[in-house]
Chain A
Amino acid sequence: MSDLKQTPLHAEHVRAGGKMVEFAGYEMPIQYPTGIVAEHRAVRTNAGLFDLSHMGEFFFVGDGAGAAIDGLVSSDIAGLTVGQARYGLLTNERGTIVDDVIVYRLADDEYLMVVNAANIAKDHDHIQKHLPKGVGLDDRSAETALIAIQGPRAATILSSVTDLEERERSIEGLPPFGVTRARVANSRAIVARTGYTGEDGFEVFVDNDRAPQVWSRLLAAGESTGLIPIGLGARDTLRLEARFSLYGNDIDETTDPIEAGLGWTTKLDKPFLGRDAIAAAKERGPKRRIAGLEVTGGVARHGHEVVKNGTVVGHVTSGTFGPTVQKNIALAYVPAELAKVGTALAVRIRDKDIPAKVVKTPFYKRSAP
């Protein structure tokens, strides 16, 4: 794996016995010796630590930065107050999805956009092409490490390694989708209450050289309450149970937000790139829709065909066994009329049509704290 990039936490993963695989040009841990199911459960019941340093961080500064991003992202970026973050989509003129991102407002004229690792170069070009003069775009992906701590015990553990006088403001009192600056494990950090697991949790951005210290301090602080490192395998099962889209699987430049079930991220009463195409798609009504499937008697995987009465009607975009829901779950594009909850379908697995049923999503929702 010599031509692959490594995150600043590579040595920590190897030391912990992480099984390293290629992902988006990086060498990343898919799982640790505890295994995917145990890692998944740790996040749902205690807490888990994720290295997401492969992801991209774009910093925007300058007068009009907010308005500029608002013109490129589907959701209400103009409405963010300082210290707030929002999920949204970068869309193109055709109204299809360039990437899914989270935009954080750090100061009046300073924003952070987190993008998928595989899309860093593409997004950078796309944004640069549309960015007005006067707004600076600084791609700090290569210098920035991202560590996520997720799960019911995440706040307590993160708080214990945060400077005492900042704990209440920057950790415990931080609302969901809140973002602030704080000192974590003696390191300057941006802390956000965001994640990709369906649990409460935080994402912590630090400079690369601080990452090993932040990582090991968090692990040490959480060890006695069940905090363990989590690989990409459990990251995928966690996000799928919570029905978060995975770019490249469930969404890409051939899918529009409406059929992808992401209409809620599109603020159609503002101008943004792709807005007219998306509004038209919504008006027409989508031909196909992403549906949540429960499969009985096999595990559906990305690329499997979806079948109705022997005829192929769609395809699976994500599928796995869900360790918390204890079911085989999947997302699939199917004709809109077959996307209704309760519809009986099948997934073709190894040339056999295995019964599947459209179910309500998310497959898993955490109970109110």
Chain B
Amino acid sequence: MSSVPDDLKYSKEHEWVRVDGETATVGITAFAQEQLGDVVFVELPEKGARVKQHSSLGVVESVKAASDVYAPISGEVLERNVKVIESPELVNAQPYGDGWMIKVRLADKGELGALLSPADYRSHIGESAAAAGD
């Protein structure tokens, strides 16, 4: 089973959020990178751009295909991870660490309530895995 750290919040689209005061760090989950396979290209919004909850914030491309990354929360991009643009394989190697994607100044902390707890996300991917195996 994929790792789902207990200190993060999750979206149904397989992004994770680490909240630190007014700032949130966003990446994709271990489950997501396993499904994608080897990531070879990452496109992220620039500093100052605004991202909106449930809208595409960027793209990860694996060898096989391109997939949107959806913003789990709304806000202004404070920083994008240049390292992950230069070395996309970090998304596979350390999805919760050096493979993070953007840091955002939270526009509405209330949005965090719509995210999944680690337990809920675990059961969510349990279901997704079963559906994919049909």
Contacts and interface: CB of A to CB of B under 8 A. Distances in A.
A298 interface: yes
Interface string A202-233: 00000000000000000000000000000001
Contact of B41 (A36, A299, A323): A299
A324 to B, nearest CB: 12
A321 B59 contact: no
A31 B37 contact: yes
Interface residues of A, number: 16
Contact of B64 (A38, A233, A323): A233
A237 interface: yes
Interface string B42-74: 010000000000000001011111100000000
B40 interface: yes
A36 B59 contact: no
Contact of B61 (A31, A233, A321, A323): A321
Contacts of B61: 298-299, 321
Contacts of B92: 35
A350 B43 CA distance: 11
A298 B63 contact: no
B66 A36 contact: no
Interface residues of B, number: 13
A323 B38 CA distance: 10
Contacts of A102: none
A301 B63 contact: no
A237 B63 contact: yes
Contacts of A350: 43, 59, 66
A323 to B, nearest CB: 7
A35 B37 contact: yes
A299 B40 contact: yes
Interface string A302-344: 0000000000000000001101000010000000000000000
Contacts of B64: 30, 36, 233
A328 B38 contact: no
A298 B63 CA distance: 12
A246 interface: no
A298 B43 contact: yes
A320 B37 CA distance: 14
B66 A299 contact: yes
Contact of B38 (A30, A37, A298): A37
Contacts of A328: 40-41
A147 B65 CA distance: 27
A233 B63 contact: yes
Given A233-B64, A237-B63, A321-B63, A36 B38 contact: yes
A298 B41 contact: yes
Interface string B13-54: 000000000000000000000000110110100000000000
A240 to B, nearest CB: 11
Contacts of B41: 298-299, 321, 328
A301 B66 contact: yes
A98 B71 CA distance: 46
A37 B92 CA distance: 12
Contacts of B38: 35-38, 323
B31 to A, nearest CB: 14
Query: Most A CB atoms within 10 A — which of B38, B66, B92?
Result: B38
B43 A36 contact: no
Contacts of A233: 37, 63-64
Nearest to B68: A350
Nearest to A234: B63
Contacts of A301: 65-66
A237 B38 CA distance: 13
Interface string A97-113: 00000000000000000
Contacts of B63: 36-37, 233, 237, 320-321, 323
Contacts of A323: 38, 63
Contacts of B65: 301
B48 to A, nearest CB: 19
Nearest to B89: A37
B29 to A, nearest CB: 17
B84 to A, nearest CB: 15
5 contacts: A35-B37, A35-B38, A37-B63, A299-B40, A350-B43
Given A237-B63, A299-B40, 6 more contacts: A31-B37, A36-B63, A301-B66, A323-B63, A328-B41, A350-B59
Closest 8 CB pairs of A and B: A321-B40, A37-B38, A36-B63, A299-B61, A35-B38, A299-B41, A36-B38, A35-B37
Interface of B: 37-38, 40-41, 43, 59, 61-66, 92
